[in-house]
Chain A
Amino acid sequence: MSDNNIPLLEVRNVKKDFFGNVVLKDINFTLKEGEILGLVGENGAGKSTLMKILFGMKEITETGGYEGSILLNGKEVKFKSSFDALNAGFGMVHQEFSLIPEFTATENIVLNRESVKYSFASELYGDRLNTLDREDMRKRAVEAIKKLQVNLDENMSVSQMPVGYKQFTEISRELSRDGMKILILDEPTAVLTENEAESLLQAMKRLKAHGIAIIFITHRLQEIIDVCDKIIVMRDGKIVEDMKNENINIRQIAKAMVGREVSQVQNENSAQVSNNFSEDETILEVKNLWVDMPGEIVHDVNLKVKRGEILGIAGLAGQGKIGIPNGIMGLFNAGGEVIFNGKKLPHNNPKECIKNGLAFVSEDRRGVGLLLDESLEWNVSFGAMQAQNRFLKKICGIIKWRDKADIKKTTERCIQALQIKCTSSKQKARELSGGNQQKICLAKAFVLKPKLLFVSEATRGIDIGAKALVLDALKKYNKESGVTIVMVSSELEELRSVCSRIAVVTDGKVAGILPSSSSSDEFGLLMVAGHEAKEAV
């Protein structure tokens, strides 16, 4: 069909920023017919954004489009919407299923492209009243399913299917489109069992034989090595590796994913931090912790935190690292044993945790961390007022009256110490920028004067300047008041610059604890597949 020299898809110098915040830069790659491209990278590396650009999603067009060009068969295309992309031969299977549960596989596969028969009513009311040609629909569905060579009953209703079959239904739907040339699969195997994943990989190979090009996003590196022709590794919005799948092992990919070696400066930094704590004294011990936090389930975590240290908790999204502080602080249903300062903490009781000297800066800043419609004063003082009876004056010995002057003074001190940009301490939290909101969350935790502070995703969604300030504030706080900090973050580099030790959480368990000076590939291996790594090392 097309000339062999012209690639099916070529991406040239694509760049994308969200209101000045650059998320993709210098993206160049090509994809030939029948080629499988593996795309890997940490969360937030820019994979999804890139796919959204390719697929013409409205998040992209609505935020000012992108720079650079996308060439299909050598001709530049610019999709205004996903429909353009579909017409041009793109198909995309998202992480979340978009199927109608009560419809059968057939109905889902040919949805809105149903075969129709002429009916009398259409004469009067137009095409919309054509009747469905169920036999032809079934044929088309079966044909699409056949391409996958899976055993999928076209008459089964989606709600009764196991997850893997739903995934196949989605893919069949994309395949049943005429002229489908490029299929984007966004973590299709994440929800599948091993057998299902295996048959999906087989199906991908068959599609490849049909000349369909596939972009395959996954965190399971072994799958990439098994099926892909080409591997692209992304990090911080850039392509850091573009390699042919020849003589490549997981370790190499993992290393590229996680990033550069720790620089000299950072090493000094971590040395500085690590001086601060006593080797033997354990402040917090977690035994067999499980947490039922949707999307971040913790299965069985055992962890010891030393007094005065900054411990990092790393791991990919959905592996359970965020569930740990949420479970210990009692925000989600949890079980197991948490011993703090030699005292067993109750579960599901945030008040007891705060009273015992724990504090938590939540990853969900706007949902959990702030009273968006109240003043900064309220945000900073509320926790301490309720749990520790501070910022209160006693009237007649019994009435606990809000001490406005004290609240104002403390808030203003925090605003100054953390350089929070605001008009006054009376400004509403909603009106602040993300970075400054995060600082308010920190201030709220600092005011509690905790002995141990959990910080979850403290730098998510804030700009670089604010990031540095937040990290510095944490380091300073640890150093000056000797507070133990447990820091959860998706950004390994950030953890390595602050923490002394980093625990990697994979699949709801601690896969290993490494000193932050360990090499990138060690971290990467623990992150991608805890069990495989242990065997390899």
Chain B
Amino acid sequence: MSKQDNVFKSLVNSFGLPRLLIAGFLLLLFCIAPIGHISITQSISDVLMRFGQNAVLVLAMVPMIHSGCGLNFGLPLGIIAGLLGGTLAIELNVVGAASFFVAIIFSVLFAIVFGYVYGILLNRIKGSEMMIATYVGYAAVAFMCMMWLLLPYKHPQMVWGYAGRGLRTTISTEGFYYHVLSDFLSFKIFGITIPTGSILFFAFLALCIWAFLHTKSGTAMTAVGSNPVFARACGINVNKIRTLSVIMSTALGAIGILVYQQSFGFIQLYMGPFYMALPAVSAILIGGASVNKASIANVVIGTLLFQGIVTMTPSVMNSIIHTDMSEVIRIVVSNGMILYALTRKSEATL
């Protein structure tokens, strides 16, 4: 009995109680799904699709967490870089898969510039990065709300039909990079659709980040996050490393939103970027990351769990209790996770 207790305890310790609870809840949802006549295979397909959509955005948290800049609540800045890249690719009328790569190139260029300035800002307010980052996100979104109207875009698929200028709130990626990754090598097995391209693309980026963290600069980045004074005493230029991490996070955010758009099918402008940071933050926290420690495993597990909950709760709850409690529950769960994760600042689980 006590041995079992120990096994259970060590399991809880190694996997983390919050992750265990969320995973249990997700499992429960899958178990009761058939009662509401919901197709399990369809649900799993949905979860995988959403995983492919969101994983890169969650990955964008990792570099900044490693360098001690905290959770990237300023993700909207990176997303805006992505939006600029995406809309530019369409404006230049690059069609098909090529548009995706053109979009990525533009986005990353924008992200480097934005990230550099954002990094300089964060270096001046060490200790309260997350609060400032949040407002950087707000400010960037608000500023771009004006710019989307003012920038001289002309492409008929993007501008308001009646005025002939100013971008629409949602722009279809149909004909451009719609599903370029999701449909790549995609196949069906046991009725489950696997978005191979999206997953491979994420795996490639994750591998890059993992490899980077094993290099000299990557090691320095982790050390800067772990103890900046130590890093400085060892001759590291702390500000430079932090700026690098912010640029990386911003660029990943930019690529992340492009991946999201190709799967989702629409570019969402104006207030769109505003709502993207919190889900990414809560996903990586559910995945077991803490404010200053995060691994690729945290990203994968967190995205699966978070997107699982987001996909399953509405459909299962709706079909069972026939009221729209689902959204409330989802919000309570995701925001509750953020709150919980922020309170346990130090310990992270692998």
Does B135 touch A at the CB level, under 8 Å?
Answer: no
Does B120 touch A at the CB level, under 8 Å?
Answer: no
Kindly specify which of B184-192, B219-227, B278-286 makes contact with the partner chain. Answer: B219-227
Which among A349, A360, A369, A401 is the interface contact of B215 at CB below 8 angstroms?
A401
Q: Which residues of B contact A386 (CB under 8 A)?
A: 216, 219-220, 223, 234-236
Does A291 touch B at the CB level, under 8 Å?
Answer: no
Which among B211, B219, B232, B233 is the interface contact of A385 at CB below 8 angstroms?
B219
Q: Which residues of B contact A360 (CB under 8 A)?
A: 233
B239 shortest CB reach to chain A, Å: 13
A392, B235: Cβ atoms under 8 Å? no
A314 shortest CB reach to chain B, Å: 24
Q: Which residues of B contact A368 (CB under 8 A)?
A: 229-230, 233
A369, B216: Cβ atoms under 8 Å? no
Q: Which residues of A contact B235 (CB under 8 A)?
A: 349-355, 383, 386-387
> What 0/1 pattern do residues 398 to 433 of A give for CB contact below 8 A with B?
011110000000000000000000000000000000
Does A331 touch B at the CB level, under 8 Å?
Answer: yes
Q: Which residues of A contact B236 (CB under 8 A)?
A: 351, 386
> What 0/1 pattern do residues 228 to 254 of B give for CB contact below 8 A with A?
011011111100000000000000000
Does B9 touch A at the CB level, under 8 Å?
Answer: no
Does A340 touch B at the CB level, under 8 Å?
Answer: no
Kindly specify which of A59-67, A97-105, A116-124, A371-379 makes contact with the partner chain. Answer: A371-379
Does A382 touch B at the CB level, under 8 Å?
Answer: yes
Q: Which residues of B contact A367 (CB under 8 A)?
A: 227, 229
B233, A373: Cβ atoms under 8 Å? no
A437 shortest CB reach to chain B, Å: 12
Contacting A at CB under 8 A, from B262-303, are 292-293
Does A370 touch B at the CB level, under 8 Å?
Answer: yes
Q: Which residues of A contact B234 (CB under 8 A)?
A: 350, 354, 382-383, 386-387
Does B126 touch A at the CB level, under 8 Å?
Answer: no
Cα–Cα distance between A331 and B229 once the two chains are bound (Å): 9
Q: Which residues of A contact B220 (CB under 8 A)?
A: 386
Cα–Cα distance between A150 and B346 once the two chains are bound (Å): 52
B347 shortest CB reach to chain A, Å: 10
Does A272 touch B at the CB level, under 8 Å?
Answer: no
Name the residue in A351, A382, A387, A401 with the highest tally of chain B Cβ atoms < 10 Å from its Cβ: A382
A373 shortest CB reach to chain B, Å: 5
A371, B230: Cβ atoms under 8 Å? yes
Does A93 touch B at the CB level, under 8 Å?
Answer: no
Which among B215, B229, B293 is the interface contact of A373 at CB below 8 angstroms?
B293
Does A389 touch B at the CB level, under 8 Å?
Answer: yes
B209 shortest CB reach to chain A, Å: 14
Q: Which residues of B contact A400 (CB under 8 A)?
A: 215-217
Q: Which residues of A contact B222 (CB under 8 A)?
A: 374
Cα–Cα distance between A371 and B237 once the two chains are bound (Å): 16
Contacting B at CB under 8 A, from A308-360, are 329, 331, 349-355, 360
CB nearest neighbor in B for A379: B230
A427 shortest CB reach to chain B, Å: 15
Q: Which residues of A contact B346 (CB under 8 A)?
A: 373
> What 0/1 pattern do residues 185 to 220 of B give for CB contact below 8 A with A?
000000000000000000000000001001111011
Does A459 touch B at the CB level, under 8 Å?
Answer: no
Task: Name the interface size band of chain A.
Answer: 20 to 34
Which among B217, B223, B233, B293 is the interface contact of A362 at CB below 8 angstroms?
B233
A331, B227: Cβ atoms under 8 Å? no
A329, B233: Cβ atoms under 8 Å? yes
Q: Which residues of B contact A387 (CB under 8 A)?
A: 234-235
Q: Which residues of B contact A354 (CB under 8 A)?
A: 234-235
A371, B227: Cβ atoms under 8 Å? yes
Cα–Cα distance between A234 and B316 once the two chains are bound (Å): 75
Cα–Cα distance between A402 and B229 once the two chains are bound (Å): 22
A529 shortest CB reach to chain B, Å: 33
Which among A353, A369, A378 is the interface contact of B223 at CB below 8 angstroms?
A378
Cα–Cα distance between A373 and B346 once the two chains are bound (Å): 9
Q: Which residues of A contact B214 (CB under 8 A)?
A: 401-402
Contacting B at CB under 8 A, from A211-242, are none
A371 touching B226 in the complex, CB below 8 Å, given contacts A389-B216, A401-B215: yes
Q: Which residues of A contact B233 (CB under 8 A)?
A: 329, 331, 350, 360, 362, 368-369
Q: Which residues of B contact A370 (CB under 8 A)?
A: 227, 230
Name the residue in B211, B215, B219, B230 with the highest tally of chain A Cβ atoms < 10 Å from its Cβ: B230
A369 touching B230 in the complex, CB below 8 Å, given contacts A350-B235, A383-B235, A387-B235: yes
Q: Which residues of A contact B217 (CB under 8 A)?
A: 400
Cα–Cα distance between A387 and B227 once the two chains are bound (Å): 17
Which among A331, A364, A392, A399 is the interface contact of B232 at CB below 8 angstroms?
A331
Cα–Cα distance between A352 and B234 once the two chains are bound (Å): 10
Cα–Cα distance between A389 and B219 once the two chains are bound (Å): 12
B180 shortest CB reach to chain A, Å: 29
Cα–Cα distance between A352 and B214 once the two chains are bound (Å): 24
B142 shortest CB reach to chain A, Å: 37
Q: Which residues of A contact B211 (CB under 8 A)?
A: 399
CB nearest neighbor in A for B290: A373
Q: Which residues of B contact A369 (CB under 8 A)?
A: 230, 233
Q: Which residues of A contact B227 (CB under 8 A)?
A: 367, 370-373
B255 shortest CB reach to chain A, Å: 21
Cα–Cα distance between A373 and B231 once the two chains are bound (Å): 13
B223, A371: Cβ atoms under 8 Å? yes
Cα–Cα distance between A364 and B230 once the two chains are bound (Å): 10
Which among A355, A362, A385 is the interface contact of B216 at CB below 8 angstroms?
A385
A374 touching B232 in the complex, CB below 8 Å, given contacts A385-B219, A392-B216, A402-B219: no
Cα–Cα distance between A329 and B229 once the two chains are bound (Å): 13
Cα–Cα distance between A186 and B169 once the two chains are bound (Å): 69
CB nearest neighbor in B for A381: B219
A320 shortest CB reach to chain B, Å: 19
Cα–Cα distance between A354 and B235 once the two chains are bound (Å): 7
Cα–Cα distance between A35 and B234 once the two chains are bound (Å): 53
Cα–Cα distance between A386 and B227 once the two chains are bound (Å): 15
> What 0/1 pattern do residues 145 to 163 of B give for CB contact below 8 A with A?
0000000000000000000
Cα–Cα distance between A290 and B42 once the two chains are bound (Å): 71
Cα–Cα distance between A492 and B75 once the two chains are bound (Å): 55
> What 0/1 pattern do residues 56 to 86 of B give for CB contact below 8 A with A?
0000000000000000000000000000000
CB nearest neighbor in A for B212: A399
Cα–Cα distance between A369 and B232 once the two chains are bound (Å): 11
A253 shortest CB reach to chain B, Å: 38
A374, B215: Cβ atoms under 8 Å? no
CB nearest neighbor in B for A364: B229
A353 shortest CB reach to chain B, Å: 8
Cα–Cα distance between A368 and B227 once the two chains are bound (Å): 8
Cα–Cα distance between A399 and B232 once the two chains are bound (Å): 23
A458 shortest CB reach to chain B, Å: 16
Cα–Cα distance between A399 and B234 once the two chains are bound (Å): 21
Q: Which residues of B contact A355 (CB under 8 A)?
A: 235
CB nearest neighbor in A for B292: A373
CB nearest neighbor in B for A404: B214
Q: Which residues of B contact A389 (CB under 8 A)?
A: 216
Name the residue in B223, B226, B229, B234 with the highest tally of chain A Cβ atoms < 10 Å from its Cβ: B234
Cα–Cα distance between A362 and B215 once the two chains are bound (Å): 27
21 examples of A-B residue contacts, CB within 8 angstroms: A350-B235, A352-B235, A354-B234, A364-B229, A369-B230, A369-B233, A370-B230, A371-B223, A371-B226, A373-B227, A373-B346, A374-B223, A378-B223, A382-B230, A382-B234, A385-B216, A386-B216, A386-B234, A392-B216, A399-B215, A402-B216
Which 8 pairs across A and B sit closest by C-beta, in order of nearness? A351-B235, A400-B216, A383-B234, A387-B235, A350-B235, A371-B226, A368-B229, A354-B235
- 10 more CB-based (< 8 A) A-B contacts, given A329-B233, A370-B227, A392-B216: A353-B235, A368-B230, A371-B227, A374-B226, A378-B223, A386-B223, A400-B215, A400-B217, A401-B214, A402-B216
